[in-house]
Amino acid sequence: MNDASSLRTVDVGGATPYVIAIGPDLLRDGARLAAPVRGRHVLIVSDDTVSPLYASRVRAALVQARPQLQVGELVIPAGEASKTLDHFGAAITALAELGATRDACVFALGGGVVGDLAGFAAACWMRGVDCVQLPTTLLSMVDSSVGGKTAVDIPQGKNLVGAFHPPRAVIADTTALHSLPARELRAGLAEVIKYGAIRDPLFFQWLAAEREALLRGEAGATAQAIARSCEHKAEIVERDPLEKGERALLNLGHTFGHAIETEQGYGAPHNDNLNHGEAVAVGMVLAARLSARLGMAPAADTDTLRALLEAYGLPTTIPAGLDPQALLARMRLDKKNVAGRLRLVLWRGIGQAEVVPDVDEAAVLDVLRG
Ligand code: NAD
Ligand code: MG
């Protein structure tokens, strides 16, 4: 059914290897969707934006390929506010009502919110059943669907309850990106640019050259950007699945970014608030400026990064009205910190990120003040 030449795959190795498939119309490919399913039960978890667009084609393709399957569905409201223990409980109830056995499979059909929540439910049902990630946002295709981190939020903070539970397969249907709002596409592109910034200067240059094609959603360039990003993430998580070392590099810009997201009221439905990818874009520029200020990297690389992000329509400065001292206080609470020292991902220049264990707070404050 699929033009084989347009299908790309990335292998993720390690203790529980799996394959990431990237290509058009994969959500209609019943054989591919059914292949990872071991038992008779599939629960599709989706949100109320994605489900009406794509759930029926997944169900139809699955049942056509494997008529004896019992397929249940849980639909949660779209948005980060749904990544809760309550909706996790609803997913567990749905598995129980389906009569799901230990060979059941959870299909996470949606963005990172659905992927994290459904993945966590799969990690917990009967102490762990299979999960197939069907990411429908660019961000989830290049980041959250790969690597096995699953979680829900609690009022005290984001992602505080979760598990490492690698998927059995990742199937990224690039056709689904056609319905994605432009702002969500750009948020995903910020994370794509991050891979270039932390470890791949040639990819960084390629992203500058292919900007128009990527912003247009041109199929070949988009699939290539996803595949290259997944290769980078796969290489890193293969070597460091539990984030004891180099996996932290994936957080370039994230300590600054999370501080901005939290300070502006995380999850508050204000359109002028930065979303995650936008906050990471600003955060990467702040990390680059701090690196230059500490004498670690040439200031010219900050300018190159800022110019690329701006060309992609992404923000590069802290939104007006956020207090630098308050942002610094948020950064002190980051999970990466050890023994009360600010631990940040900085860089030596484009393509060379590194973890710096004890960053001078005065220098950070200077950068936050602009
Ligand atoms: P999301 O899941 O909220 O999706 C963004 C919006 O796009 C939602 O409103 C959704 O309904 C809509 N949408 C999704 N696919 C669509 C499509 N094809 N067409 C039209 N609309 C569509 O957000 P996200 O940016 O995908 O993911 C963010 C979440 O991912 C956060 O909760 C974050 O913590 C998590 N995350 C996890 C990891 C990890 O390693 N597990 C990594 C990065 C991010
Ligand atoms: Mg991120």
Q: Which of 57, 59, 149, 306 is catalytic?
A: 149
Residue located nearest, by CA, to atom 30 of ligand 1: 112
Query: What are the tens digits of pLDDT across the range 16-69?
Result: 999 999 999 999 999 999 999 999 999 999 999 999 999 999 999 999 999 999
Annotated binding site for NAD(+): 112-116, 136-137, 149, 158
Q: Which is higher by pLDDT, 221 or 334? A: 221
Q: How many domains does the chain have?
A: 2
Give the amino acid at 151.
Answer: A
Residue 251 beta carbon below 6 angstroms from any ligand 1 atom: no
Residue with tokens 């060979």: 103
Instruction: Among 140, 160, 179, identify where a domain stops.
Output: 179
Q: Which of 32, 59, 251, 343 is catalytic?
A: 251
106 and 238 together in one domain: no
219 and 359 together in one domain: yes
112 and 95 together in one domain: yes
170 and 204 together in one domain: no
Residue 137 beta carbon below 6 angstroms from any ligand 1 atom: yes
240 and 269 together in one domain: yes
CATH of the domain at 33: 3.40.50.1970
CATH of the domain at 324: 1.20.1090.10
How would DSSP label each residue in 339-369? Answer: TTB--EEEESSTT-EEEESS--HHHHHHHHH
167 contacts 132 by C-beta, under 8 angstroms:
yes
Which of 147-156, 304-313, 336-345, 348-357 is predicted least confidently? 336-345
187 and 42 together in one domain: no
Q: Which of 140, 243, 262, 274 to mutate to test the pocket of ligand 1 (most atoms within 8 A of CB)?
A: 140
- Catalytic, 244? Answer no
191 and 92 together in one domain: no
- What is the mean predicted confidence (pLDDT) over 135-154? 97
Instruction: Among 124, 152, 179, identify where a domain stops.
Output: 179
Residue ranges with strand state E in 24-93 = 41-47, 70-76
48 and 165 together in one domain: yes
- Catalytic, 127? Answer yes
Distance CA 94, CA 75 (A): 10
Query: What are the tens digits of pLDDT across the range 101-136?
Result: 999 999 999 999 999 999 999 999 999 999 999 999
- Catalytic, 251? Answer yes
Cα-to-chain-centroid distance, residue 89: 23
Q: How far apart are the first and last CA of the chain?
A: 53
ipTM over 0.95: yes
Distance CA 115, CA 317 (A): 30
Band (pLDDT 50/70/90 cuts) for residue 148 is: very high
Instruction: Among 163, 179, 195, identify where a domain stops.
Output: 179
Domain of 242? 182-369
Distance from the alpha carbon of residue 340 to the mean position of ligand 1, in angstroms: 32
369 contacts 324 by C-beta, under 8 angstroms:
yes
32 and 157 together in one domain: yes
Predicted local confidence at residue 158, as pLDDT: 84
Which of 1-5, 39-43, 195-199, 321-325 is predicted least confidently? 1-5
Residue 55 beta carbon below 6 angstroms from any ligand 1 atom: no
Distance from the alpha carbon of residue 71 to the mean position of ligand 2, in angstroms: 31
79 and 206 together in one domain: no
77-81's contacts with Cβ under 8 Å and 24+ in sequence apart are 77/47, 77/48, 78/47, 78/48, 78/49, 78/50, 78/113, 79/47, 79/113, 79/267, 79/269, 80/113, 80/153, 80/266, 80/267, 81/267, 81/269
240 and 339 together in one domain: yes
Annotated binding site for Zn(2+): 191, 254, 276
71 and 219 together in one domain: no
